[in-house]
Structure 1
Amino acid sequence: MPDPNLVLAVVVLAAGTYLLRLGGVGFGGSHHAVRLRPGSDAAVITLLAGVAATATFYEGQEFAGWARLTGVAAATGLAAVRAPLVVVVVAAAGVTAGLRALGVD
């Protein structure tokens, strides 16, 4: 039997997501873009790149392994040639899983 708190959390998040999506329809599908200051774009990109690099190279305090690094490299290459997102994700997971199955850490 699943934890009742977990079930409640999933139900609340699902309801909130549904209400947000429904609210978007009520606004006529208009998009309200967030405007950033001219210099903030570089800061956002730098922050996201730092988070991505940390998640790519490290798991906790240890090196994440060559399999993950190769999977991310494959995803980066596919994204660079504008492959569909599902192809990028499945290829990255497949490369990583394949290398780990071959014993590459």
Structure 2
Amino acid sequence: MSWTWILLATAACFALKLAGLLVPESALDRPAVARVAGVVPVALLAALITTQTFVHQQQLAVDERAVGLAVAGVAVWLRAPFLVVVVTGAAATAGLRWLDLAG
């Protein structure tokens, strides 16, 4: 990647942030905008988790990461604290990878 592309991406991010600051407050007070603003971060995080879990080298992959995600999902369902969710998911993934290397 060349420096030109990095500088262009930096300028685009800055312009997007500036555009967000220039939006009138009356537009942000609308109920529809508030609903969308509340849902978009959750959708983006779900998309990131899905792609990081089920994609490996541009191929669909179901491996230990899927089990870790499932274990973390159960921990969330049981209303475990966030740190417990992360540690149990990571431990399940690490344990399965260790068993795969040991076997």
TM-score of Structure 1 vs Structure 2, range by shorter chain: 0.5 to 0.7
TM-score normalised to structure 2 length: 0.55
Give the structure with the larger helix fraction: 2
Q: What is the aligned length? A: 71
Structure 2: 5+ residue stretches without partners: 1-28
Q: Percent identity?
A: 37
Once residues 41 and 71 of structure 2 are traced to their aligned partners in structure 1, the CA distance between those partners, rounded to angstroms, is 24
The structure, 1 or 2, with the larger RCO (C-alpha pairs under 8 Å, 6+ apart) is 1
What's the counterpart of residue 60 of structure 1? 57
Task: Answer yes or no: is 1:43 the counterpart of 2:28.
Answer: no
What's the counterpart of residue 76 of structure 2? 79
- RMSD of Structure 2 on Structure 1 (CA): 2.6
For 2:58, the aligned partner's letter is Q
What's the counterpart of residue 85 of structure 2? 88
Deviations 1:54-80 (A, max 9, x none): 111113313454211000110011012
Structure 1: 5+ residue stretches without partners: 1-34
TM-score normalised to structure 1 length: 0.54
Cα separation, partners in 2 of 1:79 and 1:43, compared to 1, 3 Å: same
Q: Superposed, which structure 2 residues align to 1:6-21 within 5 Å?
A: none
